[in-house]
Structure 1
Amino acid sequence: MSTPSPAMRERYLADATATASPAKLLLMLFDRLILDLTRGEEALNAGDRPEANTHLKHAQDIVMELHVTLNVDAWEGAKNLVALYTFAQTELVTANVQGDAAKVTAVRALMEPLRDTWREAAMTVAAAEG
């Protein structure tokens, strides 16, 4: 079995994203956020600041996307989620500038349970629909 070419992989990801439900897209963002945080943390611990910067900037982009696409009028808890995203964004910028892996660890510790909660909610909705 051969490894897919980068172009094939990109096409697959583009197709998967284009056809994903909103809940699936949210989970894909959170999964990638956790991956970026883990890789950024590992790079900082290894002393590889350029690699950490790449992952932490991508993580910041994802947090910003989660923040700006959140409909704060949709439910009462949304404003608290905005505060969490704002805090995470600030911590990631600080972690990147200071090379502080502990801050990245703390953000990951906040985001993993949130991702898991969204996953459970998506599964509950899917089960109710089908």
Structure 2
Amino acid sequence: MAYQQYQAYQNNSVNTATPAELTLMLYNGCLKFIKQAKKAMEDNNYQRKNEMIQKTQNIIRELMVTLDQDAPITKQVMPLYDFVYHALTQANVKNDSDQLEQAREIMEDFRNTWQEVIKQERIRQHGQGANA
């Protein structure tokens, strides 16, 4: 019963999230799966490592596909996503924790930047609402 309630909460969170919040969820998912892949790598659990890296790569692909191709920032972001995807592949194939760490650092930077963007947008919206 508790699990079903948790699942309902999770579904509601996704269904009611703004696009910015959904992107933040994707970044957080990447970091969670990278952490799990690292643990699996340390435990020599290659199947779990592979699963977690593939989940991370699926998120990276989603971020790449949904990136606004007309936005000027895309030219800077897309190569970083490509790099992360490649680093994840190398981490998986070569069991390379350094590659996994590079991917984590970049995704953590994206996540932290995105959190700040959301925070600033909320401040801007609430500031305008008070003046309107």
TM superposition score normalised by structure 2: 0.90
2:9 maps to what in 1? Answer: 12
Equivalent pairs, count: 126
The answer on 1:103 being equivalent to 2:99 is: yes
Unaligned runs of 5+ in 1: none
2-side partners of 1:42 and 1:33: how far apart?
A: 14
1-side partners of 2:113 and 2:23: how far apart?
A: 12
Larger radius of gyration: 2
Aligned mate of 1:82, from 78, 94, 112: 78
TM superposition score normalised by structure 1: 0.91
2-side partners of 1:82 and 1:119: how far apart?
A: 19
Question: Alpha-carbon deviation of 1:56?
Answer: 0.6
The answer on 1:72 being equivalent to 2:55 is: no
Q: In structure 2, give the amino acid aligned to 1:98.
A: K
Unaligned runs of 5+ in 2: 127-132
**Over 6 Å off, 4+ runs:** none
Compute the RMSD of aligned alpha carbons. Answer: 1.3
